[in-house]
Amino acid sequence: MAGTEEIYWGVDCGSSQIKVVALDRQGNILLKRKKKTLFPLQDHVRQALAGESGDLSPFQNDGSHDIKEGHKIIATGYGRKYISFAHDALTEIKAHFIGVQKQCGLKDAYSIIDIGGQDSKVITACNNKVDQFVINRKCAAGTGAYIEELGHRLEVPLEDMTELARGNDKELSLNSFCTVFSGQEVIKTLMNGERIENIIYALYSSVVKRVMEMTAITTNVVVFSGGVLEYHPELVTMFARKLEENNANITCILSPNAQYCGAIGAAAYGLKPS
């Protein structure tokens, strides 16, 4: 492709957000952007890739959906199979691993905790490859949807939740993992006069508990990825505290560009020779 600009696009079709990243031939991040996941999915993925007028785009400037020469689109996420114009696709597990590895460059074994809108994942990486993984897709507990739904019940904006949780003065626990029953429990607790700060802390605690019950984490390094952990940093602190109870030598890292790890991994996958 001599003389042709090569750009590699990773698109992570998540349940709540479509994330897009573009890399140049050297693997440098040229842009990141996102938009809410709406339907028809393929149309909104095209919009996310195209951006606004004048933005860098993989599509021809004539208004068509034709892809420019030298541009390659790789899809991941739950909607990856529905993006017919993508050149290739890979699982979320592989994409998040590649995205974390590219940015963190870890050499020893490590675990990835990723919390998405509709699922949560724990991935173990060893010898520069995925060793094993578990996914929770059976219920909303331990996911962004769980936090969002209970935040809605509490009438608390998501961006305010971390600071409120840090203001707790009591450790409560939500007895139910079910979003419906937890919502009822939250309302009852509020009616009994409990502080909102303590309830949000309990909500975060239930997320940590649910994810930690998915599998044993045996590595000395844990990397956090996904938009939920990027936008709820107190969750990272609480995970670290829990992990340190079992391993005083553990190192916990919030990945750079945590929300975009999947898209970065997809784009980086496209960089590899066919």
Half-sphere exposure of 133 (CA within 13 A, CB side): 21
Residue 1 has pLDDT above 60, yes or no: no
CA distance 265 to 53: 26
At residue 109, the pLDDT reads 98
pTM: 0.94
Q: Is residue 70 part of a domain?
A: yes
Q: Which of 132, 16, 130, 31 is nearest to 77 (CA)?
A: 16
Residue 187 has pLDDT above 70, yes or no: yes
Give the chain's radius of gyration (CA, Å). 20
Q: Is residue 49 part of a domain?
A: yes
Burial of 219 (0-12, 13-18, 19+ CB in 10 A): buried
User: Which structure tokens are listed for 156?
Assistant: 């608390």
The boundaries of the domain holding residue 20 are 7-94+261-271
Q: Is residue 72 part of a domain?
A: yes
| Mean pLDDT value across residues 239-263 | 97
Q: Is residue 243 part of a domain?
A: no
DSSP states along 106-148: --S-EEEEEE-SS-EEEEEEETTEEEEEEEE-SSSTTSHHHHH
Query: In whole numbers, what is the pLDDT of the chain averaged over residues?
Result: 93
**What is the torsional sign of CA 17, 181, 114, 79?**
negative
Distances (CA, A) of 111 to 30, 96, 229: 28, 11, 15
At residue 177, the pLDDT reads 59
Q: Is residue 219 part of a domain?
A: no
CA distance 201 to 78: 30
Predicted confidence band at 272 (pLDDT cuts at 50, 70, 90)? confident
Q: Is residue 267 part of a domain?
A: yes
Q: Is residue 54 part of a domain?
A: yes
Q: Which residue has the higher pLDDT, 113 or 186?
A: 113
User: Residues 64-105: pLDDT tens digits?
Assistant: 889 999 999 999 999 999 999 999 999 999 999 999 999 999
CA distance 94 to 91: 5
Q: Is residue 35 part of a domain?
A: yes
At residue 172, the pLDDT reads 87
User: Residues 123-151: pLDDT tens digits?
Assistant: 999 999 999 999 987 667 788 988 998 89
User: At 40, which CATH number?
Assistant: 3.30.420.40
Q: In DSSP terms, which residues pair with 89 in a beta bridge?
A: 75
Q: Which of 67-71, 182-186, 246-250, 268-272 has the lowest mean pLDDT?
A: 182-186
Residue with tokens 């991994």: 265
CA distance 11 to 23: 12
Q: How many domains, the chain?
A: 1
At residue 191, the pLDDT reads 82
CB 254 within 8 A of CB 224: yes
Residue 2 has pLDDT above 60, yes or no: no
At residue 5, the pLDDT reads 87
